[in-house]
Every structure is written in C-alpha cells, then in structure tokens.
Structure 1
Amino acid sequence: MSKILIISDSHGWRSELANVIDRHRNEVDYIIHCGDSELEADARELEGVKIVSGNCDWGHDFPEELTVKITDDILLYVTHGHNYNVKMTYVPISYRAEEVGARIVCFGHSHIATTFIENEVIYINPGSIRLPRNRKEQTYCMCTIKSHSVDVTFYSIEGNEVEDLSREYTI
C-alpha cells in the first residue's frame, strides 16, 4: 500500500501549508504539490515535497512536470495543468498521460477539487487550500493505492473529510 498527500494552489501561504503537511507527514509515502505554491525551492514548508511549477511560480526552481513510479504498474504523473488548458478541457492532459504511461494524473490550476477516471487513468485535482472555486471548502486530498483499488479522499484545510468529493476506484 502507498499513501500520497496531494496539495495544490497554496499561493504563498506558509503556515497553512506547513500545518497540512505536518498533520500527515508521518503517515504518507509521498507529498505532492501540484504548483502555484509561490514559495522558493528551499522553503522549509516544502522540505520533502515533490513539487511542480505553476503559472504563478516565478523563476525556474521547479520542474514543469514529474513522474513518480509508485509500483511496477502504477506511474503517477504530476503537472500544474496550465500548459494543458485544464480549465477548459481534459483532452490535452489525457494525451500527456498516455504519452508517459501514467495510471494516475495529479494537477491543479483550476482550484476545483475533483477526481474522475477515464480510459483507466485516474485524474486528481486536490482543489486549493487557499482559493477554492465551485465550493466553499479549502481542500487537499489523500490518495491511497492498494493492490486492487485507489481511494481518493478529500479533506478541508482543517482536516475534516469532504465525503461528497471522495471516491474509490477499482484498478
């Protein structure tokens, strides 16, 4: 089993980001930030975090995308999403997922918390812990990968589960 904390679009918040990460640091295998942290690469808050660059991250401190091999048959792909027009369509990011062989895609940019599966690829946008859109909760999520399932559980910034967003997928 692998457990991944996924955060995005914290837009300069330091203590709030640190609180979320510290709450879960000892129970996860990976911490992913999908961009727009607006922090410097050596920020204490980002220690041990795999992070990509968002459209509000200036400079070249973070990569545009990254892949993480979770198991022999599960590759996680992370990008912010602005280069794939995710506010309008998921088609370009789905093509990139296919190119890299991803089974799970993590992205941000739209600030809209969502998860869905298409063509056997699980897509996860954790929403924003600072500026959510389409709902009031400031959100992040946890992805738990088991032998035959993937659980995506969303939480409010206070650490309360947001049940109507959470999903379980059979793989």
Structure 2
Amino acid sequence: MKIMIASDIHGSAYYCKKMVELYQEEGAEKLLLLGDILYHGPRNDLPEAYEPKKVIEMLNSISQEILCVRGNCEAEVDQMVLNFPVLAEYCILYLGNRMMFVTHGHKINPEHLPPLKKGDILLNGHTHVPKCRGYGEGGQIDYIYMNPGSVSIPKENSPHSYMLLEDNRFTWKDFEGNAYMEYNIK
C-alpha cells in the first residue's frame, strides 16, 4: 500500500489543492494527515490563500481515503465540518514487526516519548521541519523520529513538503515532486 503523509495545511486552499493533486499523481491509496488542518494558529502568519472552507471541501471530497490525528490547532468545531475523524490524539500503524506511533507532536515527541520498542518509529508533524533521525545511545538506534515538514508554512528554509511510504521506504518530496530524503526500513 502506498501512503502519502502530510502535515500542517493550516487552512491554505492553495497548498491543499497542490497536496491533493500530488496525492492523486503519486497514486497513493491513503492520505495520512498529521494535524493542523484548518486553522493557522496564533503563532503563524496567515498562509497563502487562507480559505478553510475550500480546504474542507477538497478534503471532504476524498474523506474515505484520509487517516488523521489531531493537531494543536484542531477543535471540536472542525470535526463538525470534516467528514473524517480529526480528534484522535494518535494512531498506531504497523510495518511488519515495527510500530509506527503517529501523532501531531505538540504533546508526544522526542522530548516526551510514548512507549517504543527498539526499531519503532515516532512520526510527528508540528515543527514544520522535515526530519529523519535515529535516537539512541552508544551508537545503537533505539527509535527513528520522522517528520514530513509542512504543506503550507515550512520553517528553517525547508520546502513545502510531504512524505510517501511504500514497500518499507519513506521518501520526502517537495511540491515539485523532487525526492530530497529517503529512509529504508530493513
């Protein structure tokens, strides 16, 4: 199964449209959203084409294909307008014998870990910065931390980006479709 992973749309109709187009071009079967879908939040400037109602319309049109976790900008009113669950704090996916703990990242992150076993993956959004890093001590990797970056408000000079997961390979891509980082699970 091919899964597109994206985070932090923040109500940008312009970047949501690009994301949905890329989702379709990539031929992904599921879209995993890591929160902060409609609202821009008080710490962020308004993203380009801030039009949450258009974002609602675009995402509801593919609601059967979306998995989502709650970001720090989601509210109960968001669930009233979106046709897919957006209020789950986390979800757990399995890649063979590895657990992938998926959450937005504002509560559970490398500084506040969930229960992870050696080789598990922590997948967050929230920081708006793409990452793939192994954490551990003494040269041993205990877990892998991943972040797709942000759809609409990238930070630290990162591109507008998303990730693909297919055949145990994670690929980070910019919105021109260029792969710029990859991680293969062994």
TM-score range, shorter chain: 0.7 to 0.9
CA spacing shift, 1:136–1:115, aligned 2, 3 Å: closer
2:175 corresponds in structure 1 to: 157
Q: How do 1:1-171 and structure 2 match up within 5 A?
A: 3-13=2-12, 14-24=16-26, 26=27, 28=28, 30-38=30-38, 43-59=60-76, 61-71=86-96, 73-84=97-108, 86=109, 90-92=110-112, 95-98=113-116, 103-118=120-135, 119-146=141-168, 151-162=169-180, 166-169=181-184, 171=186
2:45 corresponds in structure 1 to: none
Kept after mapping to 2: 8 A contact 1:79/1:108: yes
Name the CA distance, whole Å, in 2 between partners of 1:112 and 1:18. 20
SS in 1 for 2:25: helix
CA spacing shift, 1:136–1:69, aligned 2, 3 Å: closer
The answer for unaligned runs of 5 or more in structure 1 is none
CA spacing shift, 1:108–1:143, aligned 2, 3 Å: same
Please, what TM-score do these two structures have when normalized by structure 2?
0.70
Deviation per CA, 1:73-92: give whole Å up to 9, x if none.
022211001113x5xxx221
Deviation per CA, 1:25-63: give whole Å up to 9, x if none.
x3x454311111126597224431111010111215421
Q: Percent identity?
A: 23
Displacement, 1:132? 0.3
Displacement, 1:159? 1.4
Alignment RMSD = 2.6
Kept after mapping to 2: 8 A contact 1:139/1:156: yes
Name the CA distance, whole Å, in 1 between partners of 2:73 and 2:171. 26
Aligned residues: 153
Larger Rg: 2
Name the CA distance, whole Å, in 2 between partners of 1:127 and 1:44. 24
2:47 corresponds in structure 1 to: none
The answer for unaligned runs of 5 or more in structure 2 is 39-54, 80-85, 136-140
CA spacing shift, 1:115–1:105, aligned 2, 3 Å: same
CA spacing shift, 1:75–1:170, aligned 2, 3 Å: closer
